[in-house]
Amino acid sequence: MSVSNEPEEDGAVDSPKPRGKGVYLLPNLFTTASLFSGFYAVVAAMNGHFENAAIAIFVSMILDSLDGRVARMTNTQSAFGAEYDSLADMVAFGVAPALVAFSWALSDLGKIGWVAAFIYVAGAALRLARFNTQIGSTDKKYFVGLPSPSAAALVAGTVWTLHDVEVTPLMSWMSVFIVASAGVLMVSNVLFYSFKELDLKGKVPFMVVLLIVLGFAVVATAPAQVLLVVFVLYGLSGPYQALLRKRKKQGGQGN
């Protein structure tokens, strides 16, 4: 008796339908918005609107901090989302800050200016590549190297604070130092506290909420200056802690 390979017309068991290929919309919307803000920062800087360019980079930081949280809250993590987020970060926190700083002050120094900008871009690319390969293998309490959003905040905060001041040779050289140092710190082995151990879901004393409200009020009074100070202190915290650990280690060996 022959057995037909054709399905019966009535009562046949349907073959499984191929699973549709697609991407999760909600978290990738935030990533796309972050990418757009980074692209807008480049366009704004090219047109001389440095304040808008710097603000756009900070907007990208906020959006970048939301996409991963939204993905985890909605259980929509995916390999595509992780890769897309990394590419968007390269634009928003790698290319955009370097081009904004170059258009603002570094271009006056010629080759030295674009070399400093390239050091930053290369540092951001290497930082993101290293971060992607070290996921799950490092201590979550610390970042190895300055996170690219924090490096971008250092550059953008400087531009935002001084955008309405006439650029002098001293400011251009200061920008070279800030941009190049941020790039080097991103690829360094210096540890920076990640704040991932903070429990945002647990209960906190009322005083903590009050302090947060006061913090927002302080930022609102002078956002450019306050944010720049905050990220400068964060950028210095890694080398400072590394120096303390080195001295402590040397002191222990001396005993």
Q: Is the Cα dihedral 183, 185, 189, 193 positive or negative? A: negative
pLDDT band at 8 (very low <50, low <70, confident <90, very high): very low
Task: Give the separation between CA 239 and CA 185, rounded to whole angstroms.
Answer: 9
Is a pLDDT exceeding 90 seen at residue 53?
yes
Give φ, ψ of 143 to 5 degrees. Answer: -95, 140
> Which H/E stretch holds residue 192?
strand 191-193
pLDDT band at 139 (very low <50, low <70, confident <90, very high): low
Is a pLDDT exceeding 80 seen at residue 192?
yes
What's the pLDDT score for residue 162? 94
CB 188, CB 145: distance < 8 Å: yes
Average pLDDT over residues 125-152: 85
Average pLDDT over residues 150-154: 96
Average pLDDT over residues 129-142: 77
Q: C-alpha distances in angstroms, 174 versus 46, 108, 155?
A: 21, 12, 11
Q: Percent of the chain beyond pLDDT 70?
A: 85
Task: Give the separation between CA 184 and CA 226, rounded to whole angstroms.
Answer: 24
CATH of domain 25-254: 1.20.120.1760
Q: Which range among 15-29, 135-149, 157-171 has the greatest average pLDDT?
A: 157-171
Is a pLDDT exceeding 90 seen at residue 127?
yes
Per domain, the residue ranges of the chain are 25-254
**What is the helix, strand, coil percentage profile of the chain, to 5?**
70, 0, 25
pLDDT band at 5 (very low <50, low <70, confident <90, very high): very low
Task: Give the separation between CA 112 and CA 115, rounded to whole angstroms.
Answer: 5
Task: Give the separation between CA 129 and CA 111, rounded to whole angstroms.
Answer: 27
What's the pLDDT score for residue 132? 81
Q: Is 186 exposed, middle or buried (0-12, 13-18, 19+ CB in 10 A)?
A: buried
pLDDT band at 76 (very low <50, low <70, confident <90, very high): confident
Is a pLDDT exceeding 50 seen at residue 9?
no
What's the pLDDT score for residue 138? 65
Average pLDDT over residues 162-188: 94
More confident residue, 140 or 145: 145
